[in-house]
Amino acid sequence: MDININDIKNGMTIIIDGNLCSIVEFQHVKPGKGPAFVRIKLRNLRTGSIVENTYNTNIKVTRAHIDKTKAQYLYSQGNDYVFMNSATYDQIEIPAATLGDAVHFIKEGMEIDIDFYEGEIIGITLPEKVEYEVIETEPAVKGNTATNATKDAKIETGYTVKVPLFINEGEKIIISTKDGKYSSRA
């Protein structure tokens, strides 16, 4: 389905310049001189690369229809991650390269959506915020109350995240899977 470039939104999946891309952010620019244009930051869904381009406002882009299938994460096997389709119970293996940064936030039993474009797996969609256990961090130091001071904490998936000083080992915290940042205590 072709749409005018003025009708795009953040998160929309489009085909532009022959590439399947997700719109990270965009900005309509109306300079004092010359025609208006659109500056778009795009994530290529096949390569994971992010590019920023400008386009005239009179071009059309093709909106790509992404199918989502509910699945549950089972285990990793070498460089592949194995998921089970929640409806058919089929097992689906996805290479780590396809998952990108999502591999830092996947934990056993997690419910996710597998994203398909014309039968091709292009990635997964994680829940926006997920609870993790802190397995390793330095103990809180009494009297160290600098504003917004943080320390490193390793969560159960092995990923290291910045947390406030009051978080201790064994605590459960909520992390945003969009940017990998600490959100709150669980």
What burial letters (b/e) apply to 44-74, b meaning 16+ CB within 10 Å? bbeeeeeeeeebeeeeebeebebeebebebb
pLDDT digits (tens, 9 = 90+) for 150-180: 889 999 989 999 998 888 899 999 998 888 8
Ordered by start, the domain boundaries in the chain are: 2-63, 67-125, 129-185
Given a cut of 90, whether residue 141 has pLDDT beyond it is no
Fold classified for 129-185:
OB fold (Dihydrolipoamide Acetyltransferase, E2P) (2.40.50)
Q: Please state which architecture CATH assigns to domain 2-63.
A: Roll (2.30)
Q: Which of 119, 81, 106 is nearest to 156 (CA)?
A: 106
pLDDT at residue 92, as a whole number: 92
Given a cut of 70, whether residue 144 has pLDDT beyond it is no
Q: Which two tokens stand for residue 99?
A: 């998952």
Q: For the whole model, what pTM was predicted?
A: 0.77
Cα dihedral: 110, 122, 176, 87 (round 10): -30
Tell me which CATH code domain 67-125 carries. 2.40.50.140
Please tell me if the domain spanning 2-63 has the same topology as the one spanning 129-185.
Answer: no
